[in-house]
């Protein structure tokens, strides 16, 4: 057992009574089972194949604070001003691992939708939560999922009943605000009934001086013909560690779309697992990462085609500058009975310096014979002929590079179906690529609202 594995096990044993206080029976049992699995499998090290490029154990601190009780209520706008505001969402916030509320830990809307604290949902609706929470086989998943299951303090619960189409997107914001080195373990559960639909905007942000380690797990259950769009934005400070697991189960004709955009990263790893369990289920997975300096971003995508006539599309793009590192690992598994599968996977990357690094591993594992599948990856620099063409039209070299990078990145942004969010993120991508966050009259990309967006991150000059 490695030192940090032992530290986590000791942390659980020390706080087991407080962690399980108020738990219904099945949750207490889940926690005990999970910590046993974690102790057996251990905290990720460079000896594990999926972690060998950038071992996590080399970046953790010796000790962390696990906040076992929520802070006294404080209006969220007193400590955090959302950087993607005015987009018509209903915002719910997690702070340092706890759902933020004044008097309503779980809200039941007139249309039957429920949103609020996962712990409160477990207490008030144990049968509903139990049917969907922690359904994965811990022995076959990342050990960090087991770590989360044993130590999670709270999270967001969303339930959309059958035939309900929620027009207003829900914005989930997860914040780290303490000056201490926090260990944040959020567990989110999203359940959509038959023919239900919902859009989620999920933001991870840091507004503190400590070195946080956030290990989130979000489980998404889609019943027949349910549709969900999941947009995820990451803006973490250089000292933060963020591990995000998204686990999706789709039934007949369910549709899942995800779009993950990383603007700033210390150490960020996003793992999406999609199980297409029944016929005609569909998954569209998009990602964009724009990293520089010494940042590290890692995307792992696993799509399991278990049934006939299912489809999936993956398109991830990255721009890597300075000495930053990016990793993409995409895996499509087509089961023997999953005939008439259509699955496509693409990863494209642009490196701006000789020191920038990208590791990419698209992978197909096919056991059916009636399929349409493809995968591919590219790593290169800006096209010299395209640069020459733009410069021959009187555009300076810097602006020509900006235009090409924007065109490269914009393909991902254009998949966002929420118009107001798409416009905001278009502006932020422009600013990130331009290397400035103030309006520049000489730039060919004039952002639509330069004064309203205060997205302060570290950028490099192009």
Q: How do residues 160-195 score in pLDDT, each as one tens digit?
A: 999 999 999 999 988 887 778 889 999 999 999 999
* For residue 208, pLDDT beyond 80: no
Q: Is the pLDDT of residue 449 over 80?
A: no
Quick one: pLDDT at residue 393?
Answer: 82
| pLDDT top residue among 19 and 82 | 19
If residue 12 lies in a helix (H) or strand (E), which one and from where to where? helix 3-20
Rounded mean pLDDT of 261-278? 91
3-state secondary structure of 240: coil
DSSP state of 293: T
Q: Where is average pLDDT lowest: 140-149, 172-181, 194-203? A: 172-181
pLDDT value of position 388: 79
Q: Give which of 422, 423, 452 is closest to 437, Cα–Cα.
A: 452
| Average pLDDT for 91-107 | 89
Burial class (CB within 10 angstroms; exposed 0-12, middle 13-18, buried 19+) of 108: middle
Range with the lowest mean pLDDT among 220-224, 266-270, 395-399, 439-443?
439-443
* Per-residue confidence (pLDDT) for residue 70, from 0 to 100: 85
Return the top range by mean pLDDT from 82-91, 147-156, 197-206: 147-156
At 337 the pLDDT is 93
pLDDT at position 440 = 39
Indicate whether 451 pLDDT > 80. no
What pLDDT is stored for residue 101 in this prediction?
Answer: 87
Between 136-140, 364-368, 407-411, the lowest mean confidence (pLDDT) is in 136-140
Instruction: Look up residue 384 and give its two tokens.
Output: 């010299």
What letter does residue 154 receive in the DSSP assignment? B
Confidence of residue 456 (pLDDT cuts 50, 70, 90): very low
* pLDDT for position 120: 93
Mean of pLDDT over the chain: 86
Nearest CA among 176, 211, 186, 190 for reference residue 79: 176
List all residues 6 or more positions away from 447 whose beta carbon is below 8 Å from its beta carbon: 427, 430, 431, 439, 453
């Amino acid at each position: 057992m490695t030192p940090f594995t032992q530290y986590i096990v000791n942390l659980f044993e020390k706080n087991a009574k407080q962690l399980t206080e108020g738990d219904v029976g099945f949750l207490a049992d889940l926690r005990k089972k999970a910590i046993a699995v974690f102790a057996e499998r251990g905290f990720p090290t460079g000896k594990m194949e999926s972690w060998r490029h950038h071992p996590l154990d080399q970046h953790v601190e010796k000790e962390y604070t696990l906040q076992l009780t929520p802070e006294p209520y404080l209006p969220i706008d007193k400590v955090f001003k959302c950087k993607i505001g005015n987009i018509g969402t209903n915002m719910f916030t997690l702070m340092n691992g706890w759902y933020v509320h004044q008097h309503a830990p779980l809200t039941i809307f007139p249309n039957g939708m429920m949103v609020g604290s996962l712990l409160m949902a477990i207490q008030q609706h144990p049968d509903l939560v139990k049917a969907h929470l922690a359904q994965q086989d811990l022995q076959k998943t990342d050990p960090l999922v087991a770590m989360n299951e044993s130590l999670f303090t709270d999270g967001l619960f969303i339930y959309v009943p059958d035939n309900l189409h929620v027009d207003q997107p829900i914005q989930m914001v997860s914040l780290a605000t303490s000056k201490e080195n926090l260990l944040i373990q959020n567990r989110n559960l999203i359940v959509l009934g038959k023919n239900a639909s919902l859009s989620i905007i999920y933001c991870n942000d840091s507004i503190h001086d400590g070195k946080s380690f956030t290990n989130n797990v979000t489980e998404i259950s889609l019943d027949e013909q349910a549709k969900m769009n999941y947009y995820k934005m990451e803006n973490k400070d250089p000292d933060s560690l963020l591990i995000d697991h998204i686990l999706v189960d789709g039934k007949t004709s369910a549709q899942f779309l995800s779009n993950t955009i990383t603007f700033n990263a210390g150490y960020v790893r996003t793992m999406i697992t999609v199980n297409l369990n029944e016929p005609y289920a569909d998954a569209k997975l998009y990602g964009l990462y724009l990293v520089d300096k010494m940042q590290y971003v890692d995307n792992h995508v696993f799509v399991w085609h278990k049934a006939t006539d299912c489809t999936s599309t993956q398109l991830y793009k990255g721009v890597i500058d300075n000495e930053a590192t990016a990793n993409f690992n995409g895996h499509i598994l087509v089961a023997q009975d999953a005939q008439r599968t259509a699955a496509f996977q693409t990863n494209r990357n642009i490196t701006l310096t000789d020191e920038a690094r990208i590791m990419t591993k698209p992978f197909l594992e096919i056991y059916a014979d009636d399929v349409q599948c493809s995968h591919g990856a590219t790593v290169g620099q800006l096209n010299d002929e395209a640069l020459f063409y733009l410069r021959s039209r009187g555009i300076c070299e810097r602006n020509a590079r900006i235009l090409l990078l924007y065109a490269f990145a914009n393909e991902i942004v254009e998949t966002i179906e929420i118009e107001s969010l798409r416009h905001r993120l278009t502006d932020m991508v422009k600013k990130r690529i331009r290397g400035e966050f103030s309006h520049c009259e000489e730039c060919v990309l004039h952002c639509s609202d330069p004064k309203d967006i205060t997205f302060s991150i570290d950028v490099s000059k192009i």
